[in-house]
Structure 1
């Protein structure tokens, strides 16, 4: 039965109508004026890429495609001809920072739900060229990863000094949200040095730039630029109850991203210095009790016996207000500054002891260094450990600890999430938000313990 194409008939009718006589409209054919922002973004956008992480998997005829989006099916390899090629798991964004193919993105963009790095990563440029990317290194604690593609003469985005960014500065977020393609949004810097968000899991190092430039899923790893087209941040997270943008987004400052990427390029991993203390932000009560001149700083709630801070002369209850001349406003800034330090480095720490100003330089140890005393795990309150030859021995588990039903004193934790439990810092670095898998030596036998952390 013949079915007319109504849309085609309508189009023909409209064309005929328009041609019947000239419409009584005034048409201005002059081009829009080119603004400085338009010219700037024309240079910025070619340096932004889409990042597709995958996993090696054989696709069978029994696979259920019902839950996939059209884009999932588009990127899926042919089931008969390319069975061993990657299946795309998601999408994020990245920033080209060197003409020979270095790309900065987020750790969580190139990490699968299992917590393991993707077996394959595909990068697509704005000119539609695709490359297989090599993962040079990734750091969960700052949510930064560094990729390399085999290409030359690529467009790049230069770094700005994020320390000079001010609240109110105009910024642009560039990335690939919701897989719709390259997108630019505009806003301002809403706040600086945001921490305590636990983006990417527990025990992370945070000092985010907050912006109201709309950031949505898929923007992760993309650029936050200033009006001069310089990189001021790597878009990382949004605050949202429904999954969409509500005007509160967070970006890793460019200075931090650059420092982490530099060390990943050099070493392939991040080996941080061990300070040897558990800290908390100073509030009004702490400031009054410690006789501080201002409500600012990081109080050393506990100092590891025999650790670097202890050897330098710092005591529990002391407050640190500066490191290497940089002011320490709270625990987040304290940890962030130390996160960029290396083993063996001497950091000049200033603060207060019982109301008196003191200075004690601390020589940082390797994070795998053992200390003589036990230590409470920051992200698992009530769980205390000490280093022993095999791993970390549990010395105490309080009744209110999240680990109370899982662990007992004298048990030895051998591994956490596949990483050897060699010291408290290394242990805390391996803790994830969500499911954590432990290998534990209990009564002479190795057992597996699962602990979920919110």
Structure 2
């Protein structure tokens, strides 16, 4: 049988419509399957060394007081903690032939003949970081998910079989384990204290060039690039311009103290290879997840129960904020911790436990970093006042439970809609005690259409004033002045949204 080698990795391609995640031969976040007899595949190296203890989730601080060192000294310190991860997955020819039959065929090409070989193999390569003396290794979910055989190679060239301890698709973090001694676990840094512009080293196995070290800086923090497609996925990436290529997935991003601060996970590229846009999961989040996976085989996550959106200048003006700040609460899930804790739709969350939040993934990352049952303090803005709420986080529901789609976010110049009073059937779809008017038509290219308002939406309120009938809505609109910012509370398929418009 013939073996086909092809180096791929999780990457994004920039198109006119935005960032797209391309699927390569590997399995997982940034990789998909392409079937070829005995093909080999490399994933974008994203590895994070984590020295974690099964007894205590505290950070390893062996290098805490060490002064910044040269690249040479740092590389010597961290390389023994990095590993190469090789994976093999076996497919039957029958399964592959079914896949081909189900896949849309290019009619300009001859149909592929059924494979006669009994089985096919997919090989992939990534990276990992040793995080405990017992042999636990941190890597990416997409590197090892679905693998039938995992092999780990240490810097000293020793090779060991590995088994999966746990996977977390919501963060792209995985833990595997080898039986080996002695091992050199990596020291854990604090990603919260890392700064934009700080020197970092990326270590991994790009293009199967094992134990490669590249240098760059932290380019940005808190990036959300929409590569994790799972419900409740957490993206709060550290961005770096250190060279990262296929095979780096699961590798480590280190500061010059030799401490890991991130787990390399993805790149943005037009070519499939490095263009200076790499992304790593912050080690504080990765460490918390790894400890849960080692202890329980799963991750216990906090849950707040809100639908959110970012605050722009128009929203800030409509809400009475001095400038865009915080995260706007669109809706509160019934019987959620947020509901029980007294949060309300149209609140603006300014901080959680004293840490300021300015975008939705800030809230997601902070809540996901805490355990169910944790007591948190939220500072919120409501009706021109700042308030403090303390509440107890719940446990994240199953991923199968429905999520609200993203709320529309666009500037509006005019309404362009027609409305009608609700019918008895419409009233049955509303929560008890609510009323409103139904949108019967939305003009094309109007500000209402740009804002995301749809026919059959039910408008419940305008600028916090309840709308009960069409006459109420007309009267409220009549009183608006040019340049005034308007907030519409809208019910759509039993979910509450808030749309922001500007009147000319």
What interval of TM-score do these two structures reach, taking the shorter chain for normalisation? 0.5 to 0.7
Deviation at 1:260, TM superposition (A): 1.0
Q: Higher relative CO (CA 8 A, sep ≥ 6), structure 1 or 2?
A: 2
Question: In structure 2, do the counterparts of structure 1 residues 334 and 180 end up closer, same or farther at CA, with 3 Å as the change threshold?
Answer: same
- Could you tell me which residue of structure 1 aligns to residue 405 of structure 2? 378
| Separation of aligned partners in 1, 2:214 and 2:169 | 27
Q: Which runs of 5+ in 2 are unaligned?
A: 1-68, 98-117, 409-428, 430-441, 443-448, 450-504
Q: In 1, distance between residues paired with 2:387 and 2:318? A: 17
1:228 CA displacement: 1.9
Q: Which residue is equivalent to 1:69?
A: none
Q: 2:279 aligns with which of 250, 271, 274?
A: 250
CA deviation vs aligned residue, 1:220-239 (integer Å, no higher than 9, x gap): 11011111211111111111
Q: Which residue of 2 aligns with 1:198?
A: 226
Question: Of the candidates 183, 206, 211, which is equivalent to residue 240 of structure 2?
Answer: 211
Pick the aligned partner of 1:147 from 165, 168, 176.
176
1:262 Cα offset (Å): 1.1
Q: Residue 156 in 1 paired to residue 185 in 2?
A: yes
Measure, in 2, the Cα distance between the counterparts of 1:189 and 1:174.
15
Equivalent position to 2:134, from 91, 97, 100: 100
1:380/1:302 CA distance change after superposition, 3 Å: closer
Deviation, 1:316, is 0.8
1:269 corresponds to which residue?
A: 298
Give the corresponding residue for 1:45: 79
**Which residues in structure 2 correspond to 1:308-347 (within 5 Å)?**
308-347=337-376
Shift of 1:58: 6.4
- Partner secondary structure for residue 386 of structure 2: strand
Please state if 1:288 is matched with 2:322. no
Residue 197 (structure 2) aligns with: 168
Give the C-alpha shift of residue 88 in structure 1. 4.7
RMSD, matched Cα: 2.9
Q: TM-score, normalised by structure 1?
A: 0.65
- 1:389-446 per-residue CA deviation (whole Å, 9 max, x = no partner) reads xxxxxxxxxx99xxxxxxxxxxxxxxxxxxxxxxxxxxxxxxxxxxxxxxxxxxxxxx
For the 8 Å contact 2:228–2:235, the answer to whether it is kept is no
CA drift of 1:159 comes to 0.9
Inter-CA distance 36–375: structure 2 relative to 1 (3 Å threshold) = closer
Structure 1 equivalent of residue 34 of structure 2? none
Shift of 1:344: 2.2
- The Cα of 1:119 is off from its aligned counterpart by 2.9
CA distance 1:200–1:276, shift in 2 (3 Å): closer
Is this contact kept in 1: 2:196–2:220, CA < 8 A? yes
Distance 2:397 2:228 in 1: 22
- Per the alignment, in what secondary structure is the counterpart of residue 91 of structure 1? strand
Assess, with a 3 A threshold, how the Cα gap between structure 1 residues 47 and 335 changes in structure 2: closer, same or farther: same
Change (3 A) 1:204 1:375: closer
The residue number in structure 2 matching 1:25 is none
Taking structure 2 as the reference length, the TM-score comes to 0.59
- Report if aligned partners of 1:304, 1:375 keep a CA contact under 8 Å in 2: no
CA distance in 1, matches of 2:182, 2:367: 36
Q: Is the 8 A contact 2:309 2:407 kept in 1?
A: no
The 1:309–1:160 alpha-carbon spacing in structure 2 relative to 1, beyond 3 Å, is same
Secondary structure of 1:334's counterpart equals helix
What is the Cα deviation at residue 87 of structure 1? 4.2
Q: CA deviation at 1:39?
A: 2.6
CA change 1:380–1:358 in 2 (3 A) is: closer
- Hey, what's the Cα distance between the residues in 2 that align with 1:54 and 1:380? 41
Superposition pairs for residues 277-426 of structure 1, below 5 Å?
277-368=306-397, 377-378=404-405
Count of residue pairs brought into register by the alignment = 320
1:148-202 deviation line (CA, Å, top 9, x unaligned): 110122122201111111111111111111123221111111111112x122325
2:64 is aligned with 1:36: no
Flag the 1:137–1:380 CA change in 2: closer, same or farther, 3 A.
Answer: farther
8 A contact 1:52–1:88 mirrored in 2: no
Residue aligned with 2:358, SS: coil
Shift of 1:376: 5.2
Whole-angstrom CA distance in 2 between matches of 1:298 and 1:97: 35
The equivalences for 1:9-28 within 5 A come to none
Classify the secondary structure of the residue corresponding to 2:187: coil
Q: Distance in 2 between matches of 1:175 and 1:40?
A: 14
* Contact 2:228–2:234, Cα closer than 8 Å, also in 1: no
Q: Secondary structure at the match of 1:279?
A: strand
